[in-house]
Chain A
Amino acid sequence: MTETALSNPPPLPLVKPGTLEIRGISKAFPNVQALTDVSLDIRPGEILAFMGENGAGKSTLLKIINGDYQPDTGTLLMNGQQLTFSSPHVAHKAGIRVIYQEPEIIPGVDVAENIWVGELPKRFGLLDRTRLNEQVRGSLKEYGFEGALPMTLLGDELSSAQRQLVEIMRALKSGVRVLALDEPTSSLTDDEVDRLFALVRRLRDEGVAIIYVSHRIKEILQLCDRVAILRDGNLIAVKPAAELNDAEIVRLMVGRELSSVFQRKRAGTSREILRVENIKSNWHDDVSFRINAGEVVGFAGLVGAGRTELAKVIFGELPKNSGHVILDGQDVTIHRPDEAIAKGIGFAPEDRKREGLVLIRSVLENASMAILKQLSRFHFVNSRLERTVISKFIEKLRVRTPSLEQEVGKLSGGNQQKIVLARWLAAKPKVLILDEPTRGIDVGAKAEIYRLIDDLANEGLGIMLISSELSEILGLSDRIYVMQNGRISGELDGKTATEEAVLGLAIKDHFAANQKATEISNQKDSTL
């Protein structure tokens, strides 16, 4: 028994290959329709790519396939049989595995145990270490990962690539029909990417159905057989990769009707209100830009491009290593947010519940927080003045609240965001930084906030608008900076910019980096 295991590494315990059919899946979250009636087949022996912008619904779809979320409507079928996944565990049993970017790894436990967690081989009720090691060594050898994944390493000593390998080995060990990989190459070196691709291709050839999610178009075209493109929760197209190219994919990803979105009549003066020169920080590599008075300047880019961090560096919440902030012609030194506010910068953060508001305090207190000094004499808050000032802005923004004493946590998302905005209107800054000002807000409130941004710019404020919604950036901005990997990868004029141009700049370096990877791997392929 032991001898056979030694001589023949265990074969891939493939469950009978099967087609995963997604039928009419819809899923809504509060204020967001994440998926609308998505139907799609994932066939054995093919690699299918999921592509789409941030928030297009890729992650939600993966999570439904993995049993993390239950769909509101629609079903999943495997070879014609209906599947109901109450949890990821059930999905795993059915042979469906989603490998997320950060798999769950048990820190203090070695690779072998991490792979076999939950199903460790036992002998007399104790861990059968010998058998475990044989099995793991066998399968690592089988898939060519002996060197890449030393079995004695502990969970917390593993690199991202190794963590993903552990998760893939877990999937293979228990038999897998459908394997989904979520942005697997984002933290891998070129060499690791090559090995991963070889593994993925091999699994495909053995009859596994593979879903591959990535922003990297070159990779997709190189690896995948078919491409499914999602946009705003809808499945836009499913096409063979051979029929697609870079430009076509970008067009399909962004091709939204723009007519419904607010269009700002662009103004902007030539008086410079904010200039940022050569900012270097842990997140940024030499960022420079300028904002004029009366201008809305959009900052586009993928999640993780460093836009939020840039806002926080300017605002003094995060440290910078070098660089200058010139506000209204003066070189200012800002170490803390209160200094930034005193100098005339306002910042409405992305996560209003965690960073923007004190949820258990009142509307009034939250709105007046940034101007307490102006409202106070000898440290006593002039509450009558406070009410007059704040209620003016509460009315202007049409905040729906029973009273100024209402706890902010009890308001809706849109009204909460308006409280944050009221705070900055009251503070009368020269530059206002808005980070995702309409995230999680319903359409009506969105339109009001767009109009407000427009008004504010027309009153002479310089507005730095960070948004992941391209339509928002294009509709509101006078100029657009696109960021990528902590740099500004391009500047566009708001009048002439297109979604394709913005997205192209946002993923430009992915093209370049992958071009190189492709060349190298092609060379390797040819030498083999």
Chain B
Amino acid sequence: MSEKQTKQTTAPVKGGDTLKRAVGFIGTDNLSLMFALVFLVFLVTIVSGWFGMDGGDKFFSWQNLMNSLAQAVVIVGLIAIGETVVIIAGGLDISVGSIASIGSVVAASVLVGVGTIGSLSFLTGNVVIAVLAGIIAGMIAGAINGAIITTLRVNPTIATLGTLAAFAGFAFLLAPDGKPVGVMTQPSFTWLAQGRFLEDAAIPALGGAKWTGIPVLTVILVIVAIFAHILMSYTDFGRAIYAIGGNATAARLAGINLSRVKILMYMLSGGIAGLSGVLLAARTTSGNPINGNGLELQAITAVFLGGAATSGGKGTIVGTFLAVILVGVLNNGMNLLGFNTFIQRVALGLLLVAAVATSQWRQARAESSRTRIANAS
């Protein structure tokens, strides 16, 4: 008996063929996202073909892939990555859009040396200092969120709904006279959003348009995503996040310092939102206090679409990354096919509801299978 048990314990699951192992590695959730992505791309091209709309065939052009799609996805993608961490831990950060606005204004003011923040800075014109200032401003905002949630014990949804409004107002207060700070004259700063790597590489034309290089923005997104993936998969912080989301009481009783982890997590989410704000300032060439408006909705949609559970404890950076691309393709496809932005907003709202409904259904199914097994044993 005992021999048999030991064998069962030590023997790894023999996956059999490579296909199974590959599916296991990618994860079924992520795989279905990939299918959805392919389906959507097909839809865009085929629908445009059938109805004679002239957008579809543009989809597979370097112009579209590297400009419109890649760039549109980056800002939301960054915020969604920070949001993923928060949602896995069973929290929610609605204030990310406003934090991005703050990051935008702070970075621009430091760079140009105007406004309340700008007047404090001794090193105007330094891009690195400006970027760091934006990120740090976001981290401070996140720390405030974390403190409200842990020490005052306010429900995260309500807490960050409050700070969403407060930070939005604060972004205006930071801007000189509430006006946007122009950074048009700072090419080394706007390069962050408009620059490209490998522009001169000899890559053949695709879809009639020639290779235009890889946007700096895309590279930043990929770097942050890899960083977050490593953080969540290989560090004690990531373990703590998953544990807290799965069962906060059990996590605390197993020695995880909940307050510390939660505050760090909201700082991470805030810092990333701050960075997105900085990049928004670079892209729009202005530190505008309305830069981040509405980003939270798209980001949260992507996180749930990426397979995170509303109750916490489940979700991956990879899933969110794929979902962000999916949302980007959806928007981009609708753009190409000539749908207006109102229709796009309706679609995005419905997508959020659908994503959460799917996630709830999956949880219910998992729950019932657990109960069945527990009862059977």
Contact = CB atoms under 8 A, between A and B. Distances in A.
A381 B314 contact: no
A383 B257 CA distance: 21
Nearest to B4: A400
A317 interface: yes
A400 B9 CA distance: 7
A369 B374 contact: no
Contacts of B257: 336, 338
Given A360-B246, A370-B255, A376-B235, 4 more contacts: A342-B255, A370-B254, A379-B237, A400-B8
A358 B2 contact: no
Interface string B247-285: 101111111110000000000000000000000000000
A333 interface: no
Given A341-B255, A349-B253, A391-B10, A409 B370 contact: yes
B377 interface: yes
Interface string A369-393: 1101101100111010000000100
Given A361-B242, A361-B313, A379-B237, A338 B8 contact: no
A409 B375 CA distance: 11
Contact of B9 (A360, A361, A401): A401
12 contacts: A30-B375, A342-B255, A355-B250, A357-B247, A361-B246, A375-B236, A380-B234, A395-B9, A401-B8, A402-B13, A407-B370, A410-B374
Contacts of B369: 410
Contacts of A401: 8-9
B6 interface: yes
Interface string B340-377: 00000000000000000000000000100110011101
Contacts of A196: none
A359 interface: yes
A268 B253 CA distance: 27
Nearest to B238: A381
A360 B255 contact: no
A354 B253 CA distance: 11
A466 to B, nearest CB: 15
Contact of B313 (A360, A372, A427): A360
A380 B232 CA distance: 10
Main secondary structure of the interface of B (DSSP, over half): helix
Task: Across the A-B interface, give the 8 residue pairs with the lowest CB-CB distance, nearest first.
Answer: A412-B377, A358-B246, A369-B254, A341-B255, A338-B255, A358-B247, A409-B370, A372-B236
A337 B6 contact: no
A338 B369 CA distance: 33
Contacts of A89: none
A293 B5 CA distance: 32
A380 B253 contact: no
A360 B236 contact: no
A391 B252 contact: no
A396 B172 CA distance: 62
A399 interface: yes
Interface of A: 30, 315, 317, 336-338, 341-342, 347, 349, 354-361, 365-366, 369-370, 372-373, 375-376, 379-381, 383, 391, 394-395, 398-403, 405, 407, 409-413, 423, 427
B79 to A, nearest CB: 24
Contact of B236 (A373, A399, A405): A373
Given A372-B236, A398-B5, A409-B374, A337 B255 contact: yes
B291 to A, nearest CB: 33
B221 interface: no
B356 to A, nearest CB: 18
A317 B248 CA distance: 13
B253 A317 contact: yes
B313 A402 contact: no
A365 B8 contact: no
B196 interface: no
B179 interface: no
Given A372-B239, A373-B236, A359 B9 contact: no
Interface residues of B, number: 36
B329 to A, nearest CB: 30
Contact of A413 (B8, B10, B242, B374): B374
B249 A355 contact: yes
B107 interface: no
Given A360-B313, A369-B243, A403-B13, A354 B8 contact: no
Nearest to B251: A358
Nearest to B11: A403
Contacts of A413: 374, 377
A341 B255 CA distance: 6
A338 B256 CA distance: 6
B242 A403 contact: no
B368 to A, nearest CB: 12
Contact of B249 (A354, A375, A395): A354
A359 B245 CA distance: 11
Contacts of B253: 315, 317, 337, 347, 349, 355-356
A403 B12 contact: yes
A317 B313 CA distance: 22
A272 to B, nearest CB: 25
Nearest to B243: A358
Contacts of B10: 391, 395
A410 B377 CA distance: 10
Contacts of B235: 376, 379-381
Contact of A360 (B8, B12, B314, B377): B314
B243 A410 contact: no
A315 B253 CA distance: 9
Nearest to A348: B253
A423 B242 CA distance: 17
A349 B257 CA distance: 18
B278 to A, nearest CB: 26
A427 B250 CA distance: 16
A351 B88 CA distance: 24
A501 B304 CA distance: 58
Contacts of B2: 398
A373 B10 CA distance: 25
A409 B369 CA distance: 10
Interface in B3-45: 5-6, 8-10, 12-13
A413 B252 CA distance: 21
A369 B252 contact: no
Contacts of A381: 234-236, 239
Given A357-B250, A358-B313, A400-B8, A369 B13 contact: no
Interface string B154-190: 0000000000000000000000000000000000000
B366 to A, nearest CB: 8
A359 B247 contact: yes
Nearest to B257: A338
Contacts of B9: 391, 394-395, 398-401
A355 B243 CA distance: 12
Nearest to B246: A358
A342 B10 CA distance: 30
A333 to B, nearest CB: 16
Nearest to B260: A338
Contacts of A395: 6, 9-10
Interface in B211-248: 234-237, 239-240, 242-243, 246-247
Contact of B239 (A360, A365, A399): A365
A253 B255 CA distance: 40
A369 B373 contact: no
Q: Which of B6, B236, B253, B374 has the most CB of A within 10 A?
A: B253
